[in-house]
């Protein structure tokens, strides 16, 4: 598993040379949200695609 520092280095290498600080902040924010989502899924589990569709249909029809 990569360290946070390694992940940030990899992210910076992928961004264009003319990116702004705001671009970097946004990508770090997205990376953090993805990591938290993965951790939550590992901890709490996930639901099936079918269950997700059922839940969405319930929200969309109410």
User: Dihedral of CA 26/37/55/53: which sign?
Assistant: positive
Q: Are 12 and 24 spatial neighbours (Cβ–Cβ below 8 Å)?
A: yes
DSSP, res 17? T
> Which pair of structure tokens corresponds to residue 9?
């280095």
* pLDDT tens digits, one per residue of 14-25: 999 999 999 999
Instruction: Provide the whole-model pTM.
Output: 0.71
Q: pLDDT band for position 42 (50/70/90)?
A: very high
Question: What is the rounded end-to-end Cα distance, in angstroms, of the chain?
Answer: 43
Q: Return phi, psi of residue 34, to 5°.
A: -65, -45
What local confidence, expressed as pLDDT, does residue 62 receive? 66
């Amino acid at each position: 598993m990569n360290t946070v520092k390694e992940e940030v280095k990899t992210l910076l290498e992928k961004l264009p040379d003319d990116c702004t600080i705001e671009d970097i902040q946004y990508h770090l924010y997205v990376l953090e949200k993805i990591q938290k989502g993965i951790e939550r899924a590992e901890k709490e589990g996930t639901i099936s695609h079918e269950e997700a569709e059922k839940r969405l249909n319930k929200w969309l029809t109410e």
